Structure 1
């Protein structure tokens, strides 16, 4: 089967911690579904005149090839989107939802029309996110501290102690900010860290240990549980290198 041509581009956003990205991926009904790997993030996507919120994933999200296509989006850093959207992250976990289901339809229609008219929909999305951030204020700084601690490989218990919360409090705050508990977030961040290391050329076993896994079989199990595939299949597929410098975005197509 011929490989699909697709082009992914991204750049840092002027909104702290966010990334603006575009994907040109023609729909192809004859091709199998593609998978989006969990990354701890949430995205706001514009595609074919629709605004869609990609909620936080706990497993690989299958993208129907009939629904693939060119899109523009902004990927929010973990824990920041719920403040902007006014919706707890756990309500959107493992879902893709039209923004009109979360906000008044008249407001969404006006925003959609503005982005439709824009010569650069990605930039228009970024402008909207910046304006929205100015109205809502900054996200909970605790969320950023939790992400930083887990990214450094700290345990959930030590991260909770570091931010001054008990285990139950941290779990409750994490559900609202990230969509799932800190243990799940730690697993997702660790997997993404390992994949990023492998993309640099590090062998699987070394990447597993450097990312915080006990060994390569541990990383292999995490890959199967969270991504629904194997390391070999992931890196053998062409899409796995389409965005080789950063984790694939929640709304884009990666590999299956």
Structure 2
């Protein structure tokens, strides 16, 4: 799978991530001092642990701002389109939601894996082990989904992507809803946002960022950032 740059706070003290042994996934932790930072749409879904709770974060279409007091978090972030196969639920059912894992898996299984994570010295590594075991028991995600993400992340238009993959527009939309939680145009927009953030964070001027990421112009970039992230690009970058 090709990499997809995502904004999860890697520049912020207290947040750490590493590549998972599960192909394409990322294992991360976030300490209480930084857990209030907004999470931006990235095409991904996460298996989460926080203070003894197991949850699943569905695909976001807008910035998510954690509620409640600061807390310790750990998670496995799945490569776009792969989580439904591992977790056993269509992505559109979890769009813009955080749900208890017990709402998706049998209660006995959740109690068992929850006990493992709670007792582990490193909850993130324990979550990774659970994800690996789950992946070994279920059919692998459709490789077509990885090709779809790669095509859209390269800036290829949705119609051209459908043709390249041998799908009709309706088939592409249906598969995208189940795998990503929204249609291919929204996925392309989310991936474009992440490309722009990676460029802007590296110091590329906004006008050049807009052109290289695939926006019509800098104003287009500014509108999309405000709509998807809930704040201007300058404010977003100032948060680290």
Class of the TM-score when normalised by the shorter of the 2 chains:
over 0.9
Quick check: 1:6–1:25 contact (8 Å CA) kept in 2? no
Match of 2:24 in 1: 17
The higher relative CO (CA closer than 8 Å, separation ≥ 6) is in 1
SS of residue in 2 equivalent to 1:159: helix
**Per-residue CA distance 1:191-225 (angstroms, 9 max, x = gap):** 00000011111001101110000110000010011
**How does the TM-score come out when normalised to structure 1?**
0.87
1:214-233 equivalent positions in 2, closer than 5 A: 214-233=216-235
CA distance in 2, matches of 1:215, 1:65: 38
Q: Give how far 1:65 is off.
A: 4.2
- Find the partner of 2:114 among 100, 112, 115: 112
**How does the TM-score come out when normalised to structure 2?**
0.92
Match of 1:245 in 2: none
Q: CA RMSD in A?
A: 1.4
CA distance in 2, matches of 1:53, 1:158: 33
Q: Give how far 1:27 is off.
A: 8.4
CA distance in 1, matches of 2:24, 2:160: 24
* 5+ long unaligned stretches in structure 1: 241-256
Match of 1:86 in 2: 88
Number of residue equivalences: 229
**Per-residue CA distance 1:39-88 (angstroms, 9 max, x = gap):** 1000001111110100000011121242x311111000000000011000
Match of 1:138 in 2: 140
1:1-256 equivalent positions in 2, closer than 5 A: 6-26=13-33, 34-66=37-69, 68-237=70-239, 240=240
* 5+ long unaligned stretches in structure 2: 1-11
CA distance in 2, matches of 1:6, 1:108: 31
My pick for the range that moved more, 92-101 or 136-145, is: 136-145
